[in-house]
Amino acid sequence: MHRDSCCDLSCLTVILGFLVSSSRALENITECGLRCSQGLHCNSKMYYYDQYRDCRKHRSSLPSKVVEDLKMFTVLKCERKRQCSIRLRVKATLMLNEHIRGVEICTLSMHTFRSQCVVVRIKKNSSKKLAGQLVEIEHSCFNAEIADLISVTFKTIPYYCDIYLNQEYEVEDCNNEQDRKST
């Protein structure tokens, strides 16, 4: 009898968690752009195609794991109260090395087959000063569509053959009434 009530409680917890997460409002932002860790001097340029680059062999001085984490979030960029558009925020954590001069983050919509890329350049003195430390790079201006499936690719500059990460992300649909009215 104790075992059944425990299982019922587990089931209820999962259901409540799902209901709470599916009804949450998306984060509203007024500006989108590039954010880098404190002390990391970087700038970005947006492209609408993946820049093809030949990859280099892994340098022995590079750590075995450069890309530590890659997360994606759906956000609403609002200009006025009811003039909002859906954007994708990509946040990457990487182990900086003096050989890494930047990163390229690309998105490919499986719904529209549109590609967008941002090249983030890291200043040489930042690479040397922060070598061996974890840094974060975040870009929140990628266009997105409701319920779209997006492929996100993260590469280093220069592009090393075995140092990249590719993940898929499903953009939320507008379950929240307030979000639905804004888009």
Q: Going residue by residue through the chain (183 aa), what tens digit of pLDDT does each one get?
A: 445 544 443 432 333 333 334 445 788 888 889 999 999 999 999 988 666 678 888 777 777 788 889 999 999 998 877 789 999 999 999 999 888 899 999 999 999 999 999 999 999 888 889 999 999 999 998 999 999 999 999 999 998 888 889 999 999 876 644 444 544
Cα separation, 171 vs 144, whole angstroms: 7
Q: Which helix (H) or strand (E) holds 180?
A: helix 177-182
Domain segments of the chain as ranges? 27-182
For the chain, what percent of residues have pLDDT higher than 70? 79
Q: Count CB-CB contacts under 10 A for residue 168.
A: 11
CATH placement of domain 27-182: 2.60.40.2160
Residue-wise pLDDT tens digits, 158-180: 988 888 899 999 998 766 444 44
Residue-wise pLDDT tens digits, 40-58: 999 999 988 666 678 888 7
Could you say which DSSP state residue 34 is in? Answer: E
